[in-house]
Amino acid sequence: MLDIAAGVVGVLAAGAAYGSAYAAWANARWPARGERLRVPGGVAHLVRRGDAGPSVVCLHGASANGREFDAVVTALDGQARFAIIDRPGHGHSTRPAGAAALDRAAAFVADAMAAARIGKSILVAHSLGSATALRLALDRPDLVAGLVLIAPAACPYPGPNAWHATLAARPFIGPVFARLAVPLAGPLMARSAIANTFAPAAPPDGYARAAGVGLLFRPKTFRANAQDVVATKAEFERQYFRYDEIAAPTIVITADADRVVSPRIHAHALTRALVNAELVVTPGAGHMPHQIRPEAVAAAILRIAQAEAGESVREPLRSGR
């Protein structure tokens, strides 16, 4: 029995050491590219791009970081002032306690904007980042000039979360799983996961490297991501019925088919729930319109900037609801 116990302890110690080594390697491979701003409960990593045009704040989705928006920045070619924020526990932002709750996540963004001296801005958000952007619009409308929500995840949905997210989010076993299994198995499974996320389109060449996908498999990041995903069941239910309080002009961008987030359950329902929103469908873009059709996102940002005068952006949908 002592030999078995010693073996288990040895395996756990080796796994913990490998998890720490992987995290150090990933941090060196994809280092912080911007400012580390002191905010209540931690540090927010923020990257600025551009020095002219409307102020735009970008929030990435699950399993990602701020590098996701490089294609959109390039598409706008200096026509906007971007502040790209790593959500709490992702990229190079630290994780304050309770950050899986959308009100806390939104407060983190508001605190980062204040620390960076960024005022009222257009929020551009992908997937789960859209729920945080919507919560910021509810809690701090003074900071939100408009919203561009890309393949949003923000509405109540049926069914369970992925098994690996549920496992990693649990106490006790979650940290062990994240340290022992994720740094080993995650990189091996990344290619198929990326293909599924982009389907039916093909990922851009070099996407995983350029987007810093490997940062996800750091144990603490993977666990933070899992906690965010698992919390959406309750969090979306709490705020969905308040979406009609949001007056900011909004453009919702979705694909006709998405294997990760259902356009019917999320993008279409969200557009109906908001009072000043338009739905734009980008065929064949999967869950990644900002990567496959960055020019569509750039055009939406410029339209929202023009709508700040108060005109509605709602118009007939480009596909059935």
CA–CA separation, 268 and 255 (whole Å): 11
Is the pLDDT confidence value at 1 over 70?
no
Q: Specify the pTM.
A: 0.93
Residue 15 has a pLDDT of: 61
Mean pLDDT across 222-248: 98
CA distance 230 to 228: 6
The tokens describing 61, both together, are 């989705």
Buried b (16+ CB within 10 A) or exposed e, 271-280: bebbebbbbb
pLDDT score of 163 = 96
CA distance 19 to 259: 30
Q: Give tens-digit pLDDT for 260-309.
A: 999 999 999 999 999 999 999 999 999 999 999 999 999 999 999 998 75
Annotate 113-151 with b (16+ C-beta within 10 A) or e (fewer).
bebbebebbbbbbbbbbbbbbbbbbbbeeebbbbbbbbb
Distance of CA 172 to the CA centre of its chain: 26
Q: d(Cα 118, Cα 84) in Å, to the nearest integer?
A: 12
The residue that leads in pLDDT, 78 or 128, is 128
Nearest of 264, 255, 279, 45 to residue 147 by alpha carbon:
279
- Cross-strand partners of 123: 57, 147
- DSSP-assigned states of every residue in 84-112: EEPPTTSTT----TTTTSHHHHHHHHHHH
Q: Quick one: angle between helices 219-240 and 129-139, nearest 10?
A: 50
Q: How far apart are CA 212 and CA 204, in angstroms?
A: 14
- Res. 9: pLDDT tops 50: no
Task: Judge whether residue 314 has pLDDT over 60.
Answer: no
At 14, list the tokens.
Answer: 């080796």
pLDDT category of residue 317 using cuts at 50, 70 and 90: very low
**Average pLDDT of span 114-135:** 98
Which residues, other chains included, contact 320 with Cβ-Cβ below 8 Å and sequence gap of 6+? none
Write out pLDDT tens, residues 25-55.
999 999 999 999 999 999 999 999 999 999 9
Task: Provide the 3-class DSSP secondary structure of residue 252.
Answer: strand
Mean pLDDT score, 299-321: 67
pLDDT in tens, 127-186: 999 999 999 999 999 999 999 999 999 999 999 999 999 999 999 999 999 999 999 999
Cβ atoms of 66 and 45 within 8 Å: the answer is yes
Alpha-carbon distance of 66 to 58, in angstroms, equals 8
* Domain at 2-154+165-307, CATH class: alpha beta
Count of all residues that appear for the chain in the document: 321
The full set of domain ranges for the chain reads 2-154+165-307
Distances (CA, A) of 60 to 13, 67, 85, 211, 238: 33, 8, 8, 11, 21
- On the question of pLDDT at 3 being above 90, the answer is no
